[in-house]
């Protein structure tokens, strides 16, 4: 079992990266969003990994945080979803967005992932409702932000209130969370300020 790989980012391809560690280049499949948050080639990185072994192949799937990896494990535990399907889902939705989609029954958001149909999305929601924690979806610092050099800590209560306000206005739970998470929340901001900025983002 390879829990993580720490080494030099040697190459970046369309759907995978190569990390050199101990003189060995490891090809690791990652989501497009995760690849976009990596530093430049030649930088040192730490990639959390899932090692998939099948009769005809052995593949590594990589994630920027342990949270991403744990959610991925839960997703591929759903019947009918393999590692590639799980990666497609996490390319479409962040772990927090997936938690919101599951708890709000947002089939549309989940089925937007390539290769994931409506029935599979419904099955995922049914099976993961008791395994994912909604409180993890808001207000926790993202380990991956430090990889990308952003490290902003958001106020969970203000963020939560803004999301609920958007939902009350008729927006979907997942879309509301996406918009609010794009707003850089400062100490002097109120819920109304966050709501106004999130609404502007949702209009474009």
Domains of the chain in start order, with CATH, are 4-66 (2.40.50.140), 154-204 (1.10.8.10)
Tokens of 77: 């535990």
Q: Are strands 16-21 and 4-12 parallel, antiparallel or unpaired?
A: antiparallel
**pLDDT band with cut points at 50, 70 and 90 for residue 54:** confident
Closest among 121, 39, 132, 43 to 86, alpha carbons compared: 121
Residue 204 pLDDT? 65
Cα distances (Å, whole numbers) of residue 138 to 96, 99, 153, 162: 7, 10, 11, 11
Question: How confident is residue 78, by pLDDT bands cut at 50, 70 and 90?
Answer: very high
Give bridge partners of residue 196 from the DSSP assignment: none
pTM flag (> 0.85):
no
> Sign of the CA dihedral 156, 35, 61, 115?
positive
């Amino acid at each position: 079992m390879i829990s993580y790989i720490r080494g030099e980012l040697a190459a970046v391809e369309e759907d995978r990266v190569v990390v050199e560690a101990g003189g060995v280049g490891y090809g690791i499949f990652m989501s497009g969003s995760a690849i976009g948050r990596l530093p430049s080639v030649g930088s040192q990185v730490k990639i959390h990994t899932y090692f998939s072994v099948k009769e005809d192949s052995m593949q590594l799937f990589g994630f920027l945080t342990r949270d991403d990896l744990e959610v991925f494990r839960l997703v591929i535990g759903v019947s009918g979803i393999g590692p590639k399907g799980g990666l497609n889902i996490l390319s479409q939705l962040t772990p927090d967005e997936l938690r919101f989609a599951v708890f709000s029954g947002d089939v549309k958001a989940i089925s937007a992932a390539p290769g994931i149909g409506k029935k599979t999305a419904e099955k995922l929601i049914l099976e993961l409702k008791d395994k994912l924690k909604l409180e993890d979806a808001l207000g926790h610092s993202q380990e991956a932000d430090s990889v990308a050099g952003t490290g902003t800590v958001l106020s969970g209560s203000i963020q939560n209130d803004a999301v609920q306000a958007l939902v009350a206005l008729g927006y979907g739970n997942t879309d509301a969370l996406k918009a609010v998470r794009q707003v850089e929340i400062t100490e002097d901001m109120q819920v109304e300020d966050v709501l106004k900025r999130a609404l502007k983002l949702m209009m474009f």
